[in-house]
A and B are shown apart, each in its own frame.
Chain A
Amino acid sequence: MNSSLLLSITTFAYLFCALAYFSGAIFRNRTALLMGTIVGWITFSVQTVALLLRWWESYQLGYGHAPLSNLYESLVFAAWAIMVVYLILEQRSKQRSLGLFPALFAFLAMAYASFSTSIDSRIQPLVPALKSNWLIAHVIACFIGYAAFAVACGVSVIYLCKRAGGTSSSTDSKGVLSRFPDLRQLDELNYQMIMFGFLWLSIGIITGAVWANSAWGTYWSWDPKETWSLITWIVYAAMLHARTMHGWRGKRVAWLSLAGFACVLFTYFGVNYLARGLHSYANM
């Protein structure tokens, strides 16, 4: 039993989980939704064990570092973070029908990590600049933030579909989208997730700055990744202002949530194709 095997199982289990949530929501089937939740929790637990195992394995190799150091490990952690944020939201809101997108995103992250030929899944030693406890804090905070934005993006997509489907006017419970929460709840959940994500993105940027200051002697150097994380932060800050100061609700907020998540994806993947900066090890 090693971490790679467990992570392969995790990849396929998340696909199964996404399918269960999908069929449960579309066919208005409570059992399928419950299955999604159960598979989600089990897979999440297996993945947690896999992450801990990989951590332990890195000590066996003599490197000894948390599994948060390269693109492969960050993708695996992204899937883990999305699921933990979603499953807690599900517990608190008692809404099972929102699981499709989080489970799908988790599967896509795992699949990309596992099947892309350009991503090295081996445990590698840490270069000196990455040897810092701030690294752990920075990566965890950023990915919890990204995960919340991913969940918010999923909620926004459902909101826009439901809005386009016109179920807001018809009160009957026969529609395909009727399993989902009503528009006001979706809007509010989107907002809650974005506030949560914004808090963690702020902490992520701050811990990154403190780390950069101890490693390179500068807390902000306008490196492309830093700059894009700031752009993402500004987009969500603008959304929060539009909502509280201008009373924006619903559709416009949902679109801004999608725009924000596009920025998140670009910060995470797109920047690697721009000029190389301090975060160039993220390509490895």
Chain B
Amino acid sequence: MDSKSGIWHSLYNQLASIKLTVILFIVIAVSSLIGTLIPQGLNQEHLIEAYGPKLGNLIHFLHFGDLYHAPWFTILLVSLCVNLVVCTLHRLPKTVKIVRFRDQKVDPRKLSQFSRHRRTESSLPREDLIAKVETILARHFAPIRRLEAQGAYAGIAERGGWSRFTVYAVHFSVLLILIGALAGSLFGFKGMMNVAEGETASVVSIPGTPRTISLPFEVRCDEFEVSFYETGAPMEYRSDLSILKDGNVVLQQPIYVNDPLTYDGVTLYQASYGSMLVSGEVEFTDRETGQTTRLSMLHRVPVALPGTPYQVAIMDYKEKLGELGPALAIALFQEGHDPIGSWILARMPGFHGNRIRGYQVKVIDFQQAQYTGLQVKKDPGVWVVWGGFVLLTLSVGITFYTSHRKIWVWVADGNPRRKIQIAAKTNKNSLAFDREFDHLWERLQAELRGEQGKQGPSTS
């Protein structure tokens, strides 16, 4: 039973150690670095093509080709979160103890060893002297609390104890950002949707997967427009969108590249644009009989080729097939057989490749429409991330520019003059505190000297 609790205890100690934090920092940094050296998002074949079979397969096996989404990288980030939480739970009680701690007594010999330490003498009466010191500190630093001092006078003033807690706010904000990102990847989606001018769409495809998502509303692109500078560089992309619910327009709004539209938790971004095929008029000539059939076809809608067992359809379109101009991918379907097809060059009717099985194929005409490419995103975690960002900025700033400072004062009766010692400590920002301490010391000395001057000649 002891060994069991021993394992848990040592695991806890491991998780609470700053050493683990540093190791995780290094591993995450090095893995991120690897991810910037290997092109991301390539599949296994592409990796083998680029790196050869041995290295390519290894990269694929280690998920280095999609490193930032690899399970082991997620595990690293989760470990960092766990380490952060355990460290906090482990250290918070200690911090509370430090902040709550009240010095009870003070040893004047120890004070004289502090790096910030000053001493002077004064012939003022004891009560006046103490009153002056207490007033100056209360006014310019913090009120003095008296300490035990065996007949002498001792006191301590402290400020900024709370600043020891702000680092926990920094850690909490990092946690918030990671939690928000996790929530977004679990409960949100990110996809693409092309909508031709005048058309309506509601299905989003998720890149890299065969998955699609149906939106609970429809998006209509009323108009898409690109404007250019005189240099020919693009100036602005604009899509006029309408959101339809049950056939009724519920929202009309133009979107720009930096100005998306949000409806029902889903945000639509202007991402790309292009031309897409609407329909084509195609002529099929049987090379044996010479019989010619002309068909009007909508994009991706199969049409029967009369007098044959075949159906034909325009499956794809390219504005430029290499140097050969626009091309239509036309396919021939027959029940029980695999479809066959070919790229048919629209502007080069004589091209020898313009044939499918026994048919010479000729594109008579085709109609295109401009489409707008929308990035579609739902991210319920984004507000948590924003909250984390705001908290991180504030807490990092406050952590760096606040500190826990203590000043000790010691006044001992002496003959003929009283001895005064003051000493100080800070946990951070020691140069700034050096200046603050020097100013305070100058004030104190000026005050003591000034009063002595008024009282007349003092003992020399």
Interface residues of A (CB under 8 A from B): 62-63, 93, 124-125, 127-129, 131-132, 134, 185, 188-189, 192, 195-196, 198-199, 202-203, 206, 209-211, 213-220, 222, 224, 227-228, 230-231, 234-235, 237-238, 241-242, 244-246, 271, 274-275
Instruction: Using A224-B36, A271-B36 as known contacts, say yes or no to A215 and B377 having CB atoms under 8 A apart.
Output: no
Kindly provide the distance from the CB of A205 to the nearest chain B CB, expressed in whole angstroms. Answer: 9
Do A234 and B267 have beta carbons less than 8 Å apart?
Answer: no
Do B35 and A216 have beta carbons less than 8 Å apart?
Answer: no
Q: Of B17-25, B55-63, B124-132, B324-332, which binds chain A?
A: B17-25
CA distance A204 to B124 in the complex (A): 56
Q: Report chain A residues within 8 Å CB of B236.
A: 128, 131
Q: Report chain A residues within 8 Å CB of B376.
A: 217
Q: Report chain A residues within 8 Å CB of B230.
A: 62
Do B233 and A125 have beta carbons less than 8 Å apart?
Answer: yes
Q: Report chain B residues within 8 Å CB of A246.
A: 18
Interface positions of B from 184 to 238, Cβ below 8 Å from A: 190, 229-231, 233-237
Interface positions of B from 21 to 57, Cβ below 8 Å from A: 21-22, 25-26, 28-29, 32-33, 35-37, 39-40
Instruction: Using A199-B397, A275-B36 as known contacts, say yes or no to A215 and B25 having CB atoms under 8 A apart.
Output: no
Contact of A219 among B257, B382, B430 (CB under 8 A): B382
Instruction: Using A199-B396, A218-B190, A227-B36 as known contacts, say yes or no to A206 and B25 having CB atoms under 8 A apart.
Output: no
| A-B residue pairs in contact (CB < 8 Å), sample of 16 | A125-B235, A128-B236, A129-B258, A131-B256, A131-B257, A134-B258, A189-B431, A192-B431, A199-B397, A199-B400, A214-B260, A217-B377, A222-B68, A227-B32, A234-B29, A274-B37
CA distance A241 to B17 in the complex (A): 12
Query: B10 near A: Cβ within 8 Å?
Result: no
Instruction: Using A199-B397, A216-B269 as known contacts, say yes or no to A231 and B32 having CB atoms under 8 A apart.
Output: yes
Query: B181 near A: Cβ within 8 Å?
Result: yes
CA distance A124 to B230 in the complex (A): 11
Do B229 and A125 have beta carbons less than 8 Å apart?
Answer: yes
Do A245 and B18 have beta carbons less than 8 Å apart?
Answer: yes
Q: Report chain A residues within 8 Å CB of B233.
A: 124-125, 127
CA distance A208 to B428 in the complex (A): 30
Interface positions of B from 382 to 417, Cβ below 8 Å from A: 382, 385-386, 389, 392-393, 396-397, 400
Do B267 and A125 have beta carbons less than 8 Å apart?
Answer: no
Q: Report chain B residues within 8 Å CB of A206.
A: 389, 392-393
Given contacts A199-B400, A228-B36, A230-B29, 13 further A-B contacts (CB under 8 A): A62-B230, A124-B233, A129-B258, A192-B431, A199-B393, A215-B258, A216-B269, A216-B375, A217-B260, A217-B269, A227-B32, A227-B36, A234-B25
Query: B436 near A: Cβ within 8 Å?
Result: no
CA distance A206 to B393 in the complex (A): 9
Query: B271 near A: Cβ within 8 Å?
Result: yes
Number of B residues near A (Cβ < 8 Å) is: 50
Query: B259 near A: Cβ within 8 Å?
Result: yes
Do B431 and A217 have beta carbons less than 8 Å apart?
Answer: no
CA distance A219 to B267 in the complex (A): 13
Q: Report chain B residues within 8 Å CB of A134.
A: 258
Q: Report chain A residues within 8 Å CB of B258.
A: 128-129, 131-132, 134, 211, 214-215
Kindly provide the distance from the CB of B282 to the nearest chain A CB, expressed in whole angstroms. Answer: 37
Kindly provide the distance from the CB of B228 to the nearest chain A CB, expressed in whole angstroms. Answer: 9
CA distance A199 to B231 in the complex (A): 39
Do B429 and A231 have beta carbons less than 8 Å apart?
Answer: no
Q: Report chain A residues within 8 Å CB of B397.
A: 199
Give a binary string over B421-453; 1 marks a CB under 8 Å from any A CB, 0 the rest.
000000011110000000000000000000000
Q: Report chain B residues within 8 Å CB of A274.
A: 36-37
Interface positions of B from 153 to 210, Cβ below 8 Å from A: 181, 190
Q: Report chain B residues within 8 Å CB of A245.
A: 18
Interface positions of B from 237 to 262, Cβ below 8 Å from A: 237, 256-260
CA distance A233 to B429 in the complex (A): 21
The residue in chain A whose Cβ has the minimal distance to the Cβ of B87 is A245
CA distance A135 to B33 in the complex (A): 25
CA distance A134 to B430 in the complex (A): 35
Q: Report chain B residues within 8 Å CB of A62.
A: 229-230
The 3 A-B residue pairs with the shortest CB-CB distance in the complex, in nearest-first order = A128-B257, A217-B269, A224-B36
Q: Report chain B residues within 8 Å CB of A224.
A: 36
Q: Report chain B residues within 8 Å CB of A222.
A: 32, 35, 40, 68
Kindly provide the distance from the CB of A71 to the nearest chain B CB, expressed in whole angstroms. Answer: 16
Do B257 and A129 have beta carbons less than 8 Å apart?
Answer: yes
Kindly provide the distance from the CB of B255 to the nearest chain A CB, expressed in whole angstroms. Answer: 11
Do B234 and A237 have beta carbons less than 8 Å apart?
Answer: no
The residue in chain B whose Cβ has the minimal distance to the Cβ of A135 is B258
CA distance A128 to B26 in the complex (A): 37
Do B396 and A198 have beta carbons less than 8 Å apart?
Answer: yes
Q: Report chain B residues within 8 Å CB of A195.
A: 400
The residue in chain A whose Cβ has the minimal distance to the Cβ of B390 is A206
Kindly provide the distance from the CB of A88 to the nearest chain B CB, expressed in whole angstroms. Answer: 14
Interface positions of B from 47 to 85, Cβ below 8 Å from A: 68
Q: Report chain B residues within 8 Å CB of A227.
A: 32-33, 35-36, 68
CA distance A38 to B323 in the complex (A): 62
Instruction: Using A129-B258, A206-B392, A246-B18 as known contacts, say yes or no to A238 and B36 having CB atoms under 8 A apart.
Output: no
Do B235 and A128 have beta carbons less than 8 Å apart?
Answer: yes
Q: Report chain B residues within 8 Å CB of A213.
A: 382
The residue in chain A whose Cβ has the minimal distance to the Cβ of B69 is A222
Q: Report chain B residues within 8 Å CB of A228.
A: 32-33, 36
CA distance A141 to B28 in the complex (A): 24
CA distance A210 to B260 in the complex (A): 13
Q: Report chain A residues within 8 Å CB of B430.
A: 188
Do B21 and A128 have beta carbons less than 8 Å apart?
Answer: no
Kindly provide the distance from the CB of B148 to the nearest chain A CB, expressed in whole angstroms. Answer: 31
Do A202 and B393 have beta carbons less than 8 Å apart?
Answer: yes
Residue in A203, A213, A228, A235 with the greatest tally of chain B CB atoms within 10 Å: A213
CA distance A244 to B163 in the complex (A): 14
